[in-house]
Amino acid sequence: MLVIGSDVMSSIIDYADRNTCVLFGDAAGAVLVEPCHEEGLGILDFILHCDGSGEPYLHMKAGGSRKPASIETVQNREHYVYQEGRPVFKVAVSEMAAVTEAIIRKNGLQGEDVAFLLPHQANLRIIQACAERAGIPMERVVVNIDRYGNTTAATIPLCLYEIINEKNLVKTGDYLVMSAFGAGFTWGSILIKWWE
């Protein structure tokens, strides 16, 4: 199965809004997921949360089924990402860090057992908070936000590509933790024991 994360954020960014336009990048990433027949390897666990009360802080005002596109919505510039940074940051730091720690502890592991943390690339301070809370040193945290910005759905596939294809750092049996946070609010984490 091919899992693809792709977003053209430049098409929904208001370049007059300095709160959002400097944050995002366009990208696509794909990961081939196949069955693992080796006991104890592959995707071991996941945790997923959704809290719709965060919708007012991170969303697109128009263009969906609730408020379909119209001449008025276009004229009112409602087809762009809307984000209130402070509330989003506060919840993202708390919840993404908590779910990262939770997936590790739930599976009887410690931060030192994790070969790499592959976090959603929304903000470096959020990434650092996740690593710190989980007890994973930053040298084992994949960070590329400085080069690509927040590429939304493509952030984790890009991180995987970097440590596997570009740098060849992952070997069979390594624990990888992938954690993300997004609109709405939604957040989650996956624990993988790598298998080739």
Domain ranges of the chain: 2-193
| pLDDT tens profile 74-117 | 999 999 998 888 999 999 999 999 999 999 999 999 999 999 99
Omega cis (within 30) before 46: no
Pick the closest to residue 45 from 9, 99, 96, 110 (CA basis): 99
Domain 2-193 has CATH 3.40.50.2300: no
Find the mean pLDDT for residues 115-140: 96
Q: Show the CA angle centred on residue 186, arms to residues 4 and 30, nearest 5°.
A: 10
**% of the chain residues with pLDDT over 70:** 100
pLDDT at 196: 81
Q: What is the pTM of this model?
A: 0.91
Q: Show the CA angle centred on residue 57, arms to residues 52 and 58, nearest 5°.
A: 80
Rg from Cα positions in the chain: 18
**Structural contact between residues 47 and 188, judged by C-beta atoms closer than 8 angstroms:** yes
pLDDT at 78: 93
d(CA 184, CA 172): 35
| pLDDT tens profile 42-65 | 999 999 999 999 999 998 999 999
